[in-house]
Amino acid sequence: MWIALYLPQLPLDLAYRRWPEALHDSLDRTVRIVVAEAKRIRWANPCARDAGIAIGMQESSAHARAGDVVVVARDLAAEARAVIEAALWTLHFTPQVSLQAEGVLLEVAASVRLFGGRDNLLQSVRAGVYELGLTPQLALAPTATAAWLLAQQADALYADAESCAAMLDRLPVHLLQSVQAHLDTLQAIGCQQIGQLRNLPRPGITRRFGAAVLTELDTAFGSEPEARAWYEPPETFFARLELPARVDSTEALLFAARRLLLQMTGWLVARHAAVARFSLLLHHETLRHRENTTTTVTIALGSASRDLAHLTLLLQEHLAKLTLAASVIELSLQAEQIVPLAAPNSELFPTTASQTESLGRLIERLASRLGEDAISRFALAADHRPERSSTRSPALSATPSRNARSEALNAAFPTRPSWLLAQPIPLLIRQHKPFYQSSLSLLAGPERIEAGWWDDALATRDYFIARNDAHLLLWIYRERQVTQEGEPVWFLHGFFA
């Protein structure tokens, strides 16, 4: 099953990108825009056609018809980049993407059920292409050539194995690439539809028009297999987007940046990976006496992700805190750190992996709003003194690996309280017993800790788990040294939940 994504007005879509996105809906009615190639008009928007500008007209004639017409030269390199943009988006749905001059072909037999059926899949493909600023025509058919022919004829043509041949026979013959040099001859003999061409004797078709015509027909109708070269995404991701106008607010940058995120997430899906760190580069308008004309917004994730909505939300949070030093004229997006990531599995009940992902996303949002230094994570340290047995590091730094050493450290410590006081509190002694709201009963201990001689912070303590009359569990310790009266010195160091 193939989906053909045909871009019938690709040069005109790229011309529209010269205007801000907010004006695109009104361009068809207010601005006469044409795309010229070799001094002739090849594409024209509705406003230009209403002024009498026709396809094939000379540029001079177009200016004579409408003095305010905007003539844009065709840019083949930009069109090729736009096709790559569409291909990167479609990698969300299948790894089997084949590039065409004016679109892409997708083999989706294994993807239809995954994305909720044919209609949902086509709607998702269409929505992303529209968001890229391109106008698609989609068709679905059992063969790649058939889907491409149907997409060139009209939008939303869907053919199954039973109806495909009849639909192809009704298509105009000029859609076949192999007959472009023979259109006048076909017109002269009254052959206007593909079905009429197929009814001609095959030896005569080969003799008059070449073997390529039969090959294209056979591949379209499925009687001959066809080999397609799959699009291979690059090893690293870096994409640029020129803005249609100078942008002075960060809110306006998010829409353009999302186009880059659409491409990056498709690239990540194709590489079975997720991004842990990426950067958005804001290229400013060159200012006099200013050396640095680029602002870098770096986003580090607590847990790697390729979810488009999540990455967009993080980027929005970072841009909201940013003050632009100058107008932005271009954006670049770069994936700096990626990690392998398997495809997600649907879960009936939450698993450890899904709970960890939810916690990671919470950490990322807090860090994006409060700053990375405001959120910390704790890790075990190789020190038996409780106040030095853990370290703090930025929450968005790499998660400490649970290797054999960390597991050994965790196993070496007996039960610890969930609340450790920053400074131990001296306890009263009543009737030779430590006192905290009432006399304390020792439940477990002693745990002897004698460490710190190497850094002049010697700790010689005996720790106990104690309970008072209110059934509050405390972690207390007794100094090895006694007072002049011979009484031991007791301290409260923590509370058990």
* Structural domain that includes position 449: 419-495
213 domain-assigned: no
Verify that 296 and 329 share a domain, yes or no.
Answer: yes
Verify that 307 and 383 share a domain, yes or no.
Answer: no
Give, for 89, the enclosing helix (H) or strand (E).
helix 76-90
Verify that 164 and 96 share a domain, yes or no.
Answer: yes
253 domain-assigned: yes
Closest CA to 331 of 274, 258, 276: 258
Verify that 9 and 94 share a domain, yes or no.
Answer: yes
Verify that 285 and 323 share a domain, yes or no.
Answer: yes
pLDDT over threshold 60, residue 410: no
206 domain-assigned: no
Tell me the pLDDT tens digit for each residue of 299-349.
888 778 898 998 998 898 888 888 888 889 999 999 999 998 765 555 555
22 domain-assigned: yes
290 domain-assigned: yes
Tell me the pLDDT tens digit for each residue of 15-61.
998 887 778 778 888 899 999 999 999 999 999 999 999 999 999 99
Verify that 302 and 436 share a domain, yes or no.
Answer: no
Interior/surface letters 97-111, b for 16+ CB within 10 angstroms, e for the rest: bbbbebbbbbbbeeb
Verify that 11 and 50 share a domain, yes or no.
Answer: yes
Residue 11 belongs to domain with CATH number: 3.40.1170.60
Verify that 424 and 402 share a domain, yes or no.
Answer: no
Tell me the pLDDT tens digit for each residue of 422-463.
889 898 888 888 899 888 888 887 888 888 778 877 888 899
Start-end of H helices in 99-237: 118-131, 144-153, 164-169, 183-188, 194-198, 202-209, 211-221
Pick from 171, 191, 208: which residue ends a domain?
171
Q: Are 267 and 88 in contact (CB under 8 A)?
A: yes
Interior/surface letters 8-38, b for 16+ CB within 10 angstroms, e for the rest: bbbbbbbbbbebebeeeeebeeebbbbbbee
Verify that 388 and 477 share a domain, yes or no.
Answer: no
Number of independent structural domains in the chain: 4
Verify that 401 and 477 share a domain, yes or no.
Answer: no
Verify that 356 and 381 share a domain, yes or no.
Answer: no
Verify that 74 and 44 share a domain, yes or no.
Answer: yes
34 domain-assigned: yes
